[in-house]
């Protein structure tokens, strides 16, 4: 049998050899050139609105380029292998190879190198987004099934008192932050694990019961942005939304004054939105009517 395979191998060596590696390498080079010309906006990244935008966007973009190049390379090999080594006639058996040590070493070592490169750049990015300025504002975020409460801990606020706002599943709460001023975000959960996420911040953090997480950030672009919970936290997780408004300092101070005049003084220690799920009464009523029929 080995002699037969050897004869077949010798006949296959008589055919003109192709250069698949060169072709695959050419595809990889083309992919790099195409992807390197892309920006975050080309790939659907949100418009950044924080001091952390640039380093995180570069990390994401680099990861997408690396994933694209590796993906194209792998798919090219998947397509090339059966075409190159297909049976060309009824009497010919393709070369039989038991193993290829260089290839096996390559597909063992290459993923390790890729993971190490990603790990290095992730650590580098994490160091780049560490707080570099002393926060001038503090906002305590209380996550609760299924909405948010925002407390503004402001010693210099009008009246010298902290104020808060609470939302529910029918009315999104609004978190208002001053532009170009460092803010400390302190996160607490009333019940289960949630996650505070503003896509335009390019940053999110888990909100874990019994643990106080925090981070600091500087909003850099005025406007209105979406915020949401990015942790599957329960039945009405999809309704756990809020609106972020980045405004000038005058508008921010006016917002705190409005909350104080509305009687929302103090810190939201607990929120009762857990039992305030819009639509449940109607759904229950419809079910009872259907059962009665």
Residues 131-153: pLDDT tens digits? 666 888 899 999 998 899 999 98
pLDDT for res 8? 42
Distances from the Cα of 111 to the Cαs of 63, 75, 83, 124, 259, in angstroms? 14, 16, 26, 20, 54
Cis peptide before 8 (omega within 30 of 0): no
Mean pLDDT, residues 219-234 taken together: 91
Distances from the Cα of 222 to the Cαs of 150, 177, 228, in angstroms? 19, 9, 19
Kindly report the average pLDDT of the chain as a whole number: 78
Residue indicated by tokens 């706002």: 165
Residue 282 has pLDDT above 70, yes or no: no
More confident residue, 291 or 30: 30
pLDDT for res 185? 92
Domains, in order of start, for the chain: 2-128 (no CATH), 137-271 (2.60.40.420)
Q: How far is CA 200 from the centre of its chain?
A: 11
The DSSP annotation for 67-135 comes to HHHHHHHHHHHHHHHHHHTS--STT--PPP-S--HHHHHHHHHHHHHHHHHHHHHHHHHHHHTS--S--
| Lowest-pLDDT range of 24-38, 179-193, 231-245, 250-264 | 24-38
Q: Where are the beta strands (DSSP E) in the chain?
A: 137-144, 147-153, 163-166, 174-178, 183-189, 194-198, 203-207, 213-217, 223-229, 241-247
Which positions ≥6 away from 175 have C-beta within 8 Å?
139, 141, 148, 150, 227, 242, 243, 244, 245
pTM (2 d.p.): 0.68
Measured from the Cβ of residue 282, the count of other Cβ atoms closer than 10 Å reads: 9
DSSP 239: G
Share of the chain above pLDDT 70, in %: 74
More confident residue, 35 or 98: 98
pLDDT for res 142? 92
More confident residue, 55 or 10: 55
At 272 the three-state DSSP class reads: coil
The number of residues making up the chain comes to 293
């Amino acid at each position: 049998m080995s002699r037969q395979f050897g004869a077949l191998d010798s006949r296959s060596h008589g055919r003109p050899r192709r250069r698949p590696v060169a072709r695959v390498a050419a595809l990889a080079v083309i992919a790099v050139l195409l992807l390197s010309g892309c920006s975050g906006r080309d790939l659907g990244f949100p418009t950044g609105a924080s001091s952390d935008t640039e380093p995180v966007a570069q990390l994401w973009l680099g990861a997408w380029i690396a994933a694209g190049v590796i993906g194209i390379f792998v798919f090219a090999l998947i397509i090339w292998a059966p075409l190159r080594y297909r049976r060309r006639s009824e009497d010919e058996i393709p070369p039989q190879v038991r193993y290829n040590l260089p290839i096996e070493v390559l597909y063992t070592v290459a993923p390790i190198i890729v993971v190490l490169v990603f790990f290095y750049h992730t650590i580098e990015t994490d160091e780049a987004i560490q707080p570099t300025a002393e926060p001038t504002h503090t906002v305590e975020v209380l996550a609760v099934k299924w909405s948010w409460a925002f407390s503004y801990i402001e010693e210099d606020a009008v009246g010298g008192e902290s104020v808060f706002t609470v939302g529910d599943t029918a009315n999104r709460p609004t978190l208002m932050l001053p532009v170009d001023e460092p803010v400390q975000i302190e996160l607490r959960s009333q019940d289960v694990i949630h996650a505070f996420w503003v896509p335009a911040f390019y940053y999110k953090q888990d909100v874990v019961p019994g643990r106080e997480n925090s981070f600091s950030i500087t909003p850099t672009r005025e406007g209105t942005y979406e915020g949401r919970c990015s942790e599957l936290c329960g039945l009405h997780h999809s309704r756990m939304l809020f609106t972020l408004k980045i405004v000038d300092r005058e508008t921010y101070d006016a917002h705190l004054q409005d909350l104080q005049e509305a009687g929302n003084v103090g810190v939201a220690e607990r929120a009762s939105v857990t039992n305030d799920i819009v639509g449940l009464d109607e759904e229950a009523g419809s079910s009872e009517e259907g059962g009665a029929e």
